[in-house]
Amino acid sequence: MMDPVPAPESEAELVRRVRELSGRSLGEVAETLGLSVPEHFRHAKGWVGQLLEKALGATASSRAAPDFELLGVEMKTIPIDERGIPQETTFVCTIPLQTVHQTDWEQSRVRKKLARVLWVPIEATRSVPVAERRIGSALLWSPSFEQEQALRGDWEQLAGLIACGDIDSITGHLGTVMQVRPKAANAKARRNVRDEDGLLMTALPRGFYLRISFTREILREHFSLPI
DNA sequence: CCGTGATCATTC
DNA sequence: GAATGATCACGG
């Protein structure tokens, strides 16, 4: 067993560490941590995120807390193609279907999660073996006023529909920068919910996800990528 | 069992 | 090809 990497004590230290990882391959970093590298992610979908958490000294594990609790910073790996464009949406958090109606944007999980994010781009070109894929240069980000307004608008619309008991009317098509999609072991999973009249029902668990167009813009602003 | 880490795979 | 809906592994 390798010694665990200690939690960074400041944003500056976190940034220094992630800079040292920039340009290194996933295989190299895995080796320093004593981890084996999967051939593909079919049975290891969160592997890259967990690798970077260990490498940087994240503390929250799978709890509903920021990855770097002391700093209030969330870390997100983001798979990018050769042009630097994200290839997947970004999971934000699960939706508390029971209580979302008694919450406002200011108190929402989404706002808290996205208040401070360390984006770590990861080369995700399918033709490159996983172990050879490189870590990009990271970006410590907080939403701009406009970005927060956009997130808030989507959150209010989508949370409003859930509060009305209209959960099953929500599809991934709704939302400009953020969407609601299933977040479950499989399509049969069920969670207790109450509709507007307090009647008990069950529903497929859902989560909030950031659209590619939104994260693409975050990266584009910072790295001046092609439009 | 639930939330977090996401990517896969089918549909559009 | 892109986007939505489905899915896999793990820690607590």
Grouping H, G, I as helix, E, B as strand and the rest as coil, residue A31 is helix
Residue A91, CB, strand B, below 7 Å: yes
Grouping H, G, I as helix, E, B as strand and the rest as coil, residue A13 is helix
**Mean of pLDDT over chain A:** 95
Measured CA to CA, the distance from residue A207 to residue A182 in angstroms comes to: 6
CA distances from A158 to A41, A146, A149, A201, A206 (A): 30, 19, 14, 18, 11
List, for residues A32-53, the tens digit of each pLDDT value: 999 999 999 999 999 999 999 9
Strand ranges in chain A using DSSP code E only, listed in sequence order? 74-80, 90-94, 117-123, 139-141, 178-182, 191-194, 200-203, 206-210
Residue A49, CB, strand B, below 7 Å: yes
pTM here?
0.96
Residues 2-31 of chain A within 7 A of strand B, judged by CB, are: none
List, for residues A73-82, the tens digit of each pLDDT value: 999 999 999 9
- Match 């949370």 to its residue by tokens: A159
Q: Please, which positions of strand C sit below 7 A from a protein CB?
A: 3-12
Minimum-distance nucleotide, CA of A49 to C1': B5
Measured CA to CA, the distance from residue A80 to residue A72 in angstroms comes to: 25
CA distances from A55 to A6, A41, A197, A216 (A): 9, 19, 48, 25
Helices (H), chain A: 11-21, 26-33, 47-56, 109-114, 145-163, 212-223
Residues 70-99 of chain A within 7 A of strand C, judged by CB, are: 89
pLDDT-derived band at A225 (thresholds 50, 70, 90) equals confident
Residue A64, CB, strand B, below 7 Å: yes
pLDDT at position A149 over 90: yes
Residue A7, CB, strand C, below 7 Å: no
pLDDT-derived band at A2 (thresholds 50, 70, 90) equals confident
Question: pLDDT at position A213, please?
Answer: 98
pLDDT at position A1 over 70: no
Copy the structure tokens of residue A98.
Answer: 């029971």
Minimum-distance nucleotide, CA of A174 to C1': C4
- Match 């907080």 to its residue by tokens: A142
Question: pLDDT at position A201, please?
Answer: 92
Residue A160, CB, strand C, below 7 Å: no
pLDDT at position A68 over 90: yes
Cβ(A219)–Cβ(A80) under 8 Å?
Answer: yes
List, for residues A108-145, the tens digit of each pLDDT value: 999 999 999 999 999 999 999 999 999 999 999 999 99
Cβ(A5)–Cβ(A54) under 8 Å?
Answer: yes
